[in-house]
Amino acid sequence: MSMRFPSSGRQFMRELFPPPKLPLLDATVWAVALTLLVVVVLADIFTPASFAVGTVLSASVALAALGESKKTVWQLTALAVLANLIAGFWNGWRDGVETFHLLNRAVSILSVVLVCVLTIRAREASERAAALSQEERELTRERARRQLAEEMGGPLGQKEFVERAATTLQKLTGASSVEIGAVDRAILGHPYALALAPDLTLHDHPSRLNQRIPLEFLAHPVGAGDVWASGGGNVYLARLRRPTEGDLLLILSNPQTPPSVTGMAIRTLQPLLERTALLDDLRENREQLAERGEVLRDLVYAFSHDLRTPLLANGMNMRSALDGAYGELPQEYRTNLQNGLEANETLLALADQLLLVAKYESGENAQEETQSVNLRDLVVSVVSDLKPRAQAKNVTFDTALSGVTVQGRKHDLRRAVQNLLDNAVKFSPPGGTVRVSLSDDDDEAVVTVRDQGRGIPADQQARLFQRFRGSGAGSGSGLGLYLTRRIAEAHGGSVRYQRRADARSEFTLSLPLGAL
């Protein structure tokens, strides 16, 4: 009956009689081999030649297989052959030379040479096996590392990272359970995940979430590396460092792979964990920006809506006064009222633009239904509305309009065309002409507006269609041309500017004829 030591007993015996670490140091091999060689030579010398003790000298050569270098094998072989010859001469001088004795001595020398050859071959085979074993281990680690990287791929926050890491480690190591959680005052908390082997349930392995962790799990032995064992070697423990928060503790129960595999996984997971912190920060910042954007959009809606009501009332009162509702007014007072009415209309237009910009920035425009829009009628209507303002500046319209129909949002398209014509009138010199054309060109509806204004400086053209651009020709609220661009792009089209050779500014609005 064989005795089985308890785990602690086996550990004690291993500590008392530790197995040798191979290969042995050359100094150790030489000490043992020379001692054996001297003992065998003395025995050979003091025994009759017929005993053939010299054959045992090959044992000292065999010991060289445990050493570090192949050179030791050849050196010990030479010494063993020399020792055989010395013992043979001594025995021959003492006992006389016989054929049987010579044959025994030849066999002894041949055995030493044969052991030398076999030892060399054994060493080479062992080295090849070790190299193959090392390559296999490297391939296994690389395969595991690649599998781990694939499993942990994609943008992950810390919560998703912990959940996926627990599942991946359980598959990789074959552990019965893998728990990962943040440690705060010896309590395992969130972010937390528990992955169990397919044949286990929470009844078999209850969660340690919000429970106190044993002190032996928390103590990291000095020099233990990335992974250390506990519970008699049945539990592997490791930590993942977090720079601004508590570390994550990994608890692997009954893993089926060596600690080196878990250590490799920890080294692979550490930089991925650091990346999750950046992703969480980005998500938080994005949520804050989205919240601020909603607040600003609501403010713009409220401001624009609340601004329209008093402006409309103020405009009605000024028109009533100009129409004589309060009696005859002095010309100077009528002029002031007219200026105030124009300023009032400018503010109303700004309120409309603000509402439209907020709608496009929030994406609400995409929810509105489109309809068939007759662009010729739309342009004619805009020109008609702007004629009083153009006549006040002695600016005339020259139109060349074809009948073109597109699919879109009529109110928005009207705003885009109105912005271009309004700018053309605003910056045309007195007595100037604004040429407006509408044509069908390569499945596109093209609206072209040309004026005789001073144009846009070259250094400002790159940001002409941006929000709140700088001052210069075409300046104002900084929303008109930006809004025109957004409307055009939302309809699948574009708007562009060029300064013509005939010193005219030209804006071109292109819209596809097909459905959105």
Contact 482/360 with Cβ under 8 angstroms? no
pLDDT, one tens digit per residue, over 85-112 is 887 888 878 777 777 777 877 888 888 8
| Alpha-carbon torsion angle 149, 153, 155, 161, nearest 10 | -60
3-state secondary structure of 478: coil
Q: How confident is the model at residue 15 (pLDDT cuts 50, 70, 90)?
A: low
Distance CA 63, CA 492 (A): 85
User: Residue range 399-421: average pLDDT?
Assistant: 90
| pLDDT value, residue 178 | 92
| pLDDT value, residue 193 | 93
**Most distant pair of Cα atoms in the chain: their distance:** 162
| pLDDT value, residue 305 | 59
Structure tokens at 273: 């964990």
Q: How confident is the model at residue 495 (pLDDT cuts 50, 70, 90)?
A: very high
| Alpha-carbon torsion angle 104, 105, 106, 107, nearest 10 | 50
| pLDDT value, residue 9 | 52
Residue 326 scores a pLDDT above 90: no
Distances (CA, A) of 40 to 45, 55, 60, 67, 423: 9, 9, 9, 21, 114
pTM of the model: 0.44
Question: What is the residue-averaged pLDDT of the chain?
Answer: 79
- Which residues, including other chains, have CB under 8 Å from residue 51's CB and lie 6 or more apart? 44
| pLDDT value, residue 281 | 67
Residue 39 scores a pLDDT above 70: yes
Sort strands 505-512 and 444-451 into parallel, antiparallel or unpaired. antiparallel
Residue 6 scores a pLDDT above 50: no
Residue 471 scores a pLDDT above 50: no
